[in-house]
Amino acid sequence: MLLNKQGETAENENIIIRDVEGLTLHDDQILPYAYWLAQKAEIKQKLNRVAIWLDSHDDIEALSDDLSSIDLIALNFPKFGDGRAFTMAHLLQDKFNYKGEIRAIGHPIADQAQFLFRCGVDSIDIPDAQDPTIWVKEATRMSRFYQRSAENIAANSKY
């Protein structure tokens, strides 16, 4: 199940590929960063829609030249306390001006949903077995912010 920043849910059509052995490429796959780095040309050629996922320790700077050919970047939470994805999302949209979709995957918790959206994440892959209604509620929990967010919700932001 996917969650967007308006607090709406949608079916997740994508498959996160963690093991690339014997992989046949399809448009609905989210490919590992290392695999994409090694097979860039082939992937670009074969797929209409390129999606990759980064782990929290991956070097986001190395992506900057290729961003225009990537449609979706998923940021993995190996555990919810690892907050690097917040900064990675910020850098993607603010520093690299990335226009594609930014998604959080792995193990975020519902209480992080709104923070993620405010850092520039577009969608969250709600972990299986979790109640989506809690995520929907937390996505729009606060309507008052002291910082201007990625979306610059001026009406709700103090400055």
Partner 1 sequence: MSLQQSIQQAAQKEYSPTAPAIAPKNVQMYKYDQFDDEFITQRIEQLRSQINRRLAGELSEDEFKPLRLQNGVYLQLHAYMLRLAIPYGQLNSTQMRALAYIARKYDKGFGHFTTRQNIQYNWPALSDIPEILEDLQKVEMHAIQTSGNCIRNTTSDPFAGAAADELTDPRPWCEIIRQWSTLHPEFAFLPRKFKIAVNAAEQDRAAILYHDVALQIIENDQGEMGFKVYVGGGQGRTPVIAKLVREFLEPQYLLSYLDAILRTYNMLGRRDNLYKARIKITVNETGVEEFSRLVELEWNRIKDTGFNLPEEQKQTIFKHFELPEFETYQYDAAKFESKKTENNGFDYFVKNNTFAHKQDGYTIVSISLKPHGGIPGDISADQMDLVAQLADDYSLSEIRATHRQNLVLPHVKLDDLFILWQKLTKVNLAAGNIGLLTDIIACPGLDYCALANARSIPIAQMIAEHFDDMKKLNDLGDITLNISGCINACAHHHVANIGILGVDKKGEESYQVTLGGSSRSDADIGKIVGPGFSGDEIVGAIETITNVYLAGRTNSDETFLEYYRRAGQNPFKEALYNVA
Interface with partner 1 by CB under 8 A: which residues?
56, 80-84, 86-88, 90-91, 94-95, 109, 111-112, 114-116, 118-119, 131, 134, 137-138, 141-149, 158-159
Residues 6+ apart with CB under 8 A from 83: none
Q: In angstroms, give the least distance from the CB of 101 to partner 1.
A: 19
**Least distance from partner 1 to the Cβ atom of residue 75, Å:** 13
Contacts of 41 (CB under 8 A, 6+ apart): none
According to DSSP, the residues that pair with 66 across neighbouring strands are: none
Query: Residue 21, SS3?
Result: coil
Q: What does the block give as tokens for 91?
A: 């850098």
The CB-of-113 to partner 1 minimum distance in angstroms stands at 11
β-sheet bridge partners, residue 102:
73
From the CB of 133, what's the least distance to partner 1, in Å? Answer: 10
Q: Based on CB atoms, which residue is closest to partner 1, 21 or 144?
A: 144
Given the complex with partner 1, which of 41 and 129 has the nearer CB atom?
A: 129
Nearer to partner 1, 50 or 102 (CB): 102
Helices (H), the chain: 33-46, 84-90, 113-118, 132-139
103/118 with CB nearer partner 1: 118
What's the rounded Cα separation, in Å, for the pair 152 and 159? 10
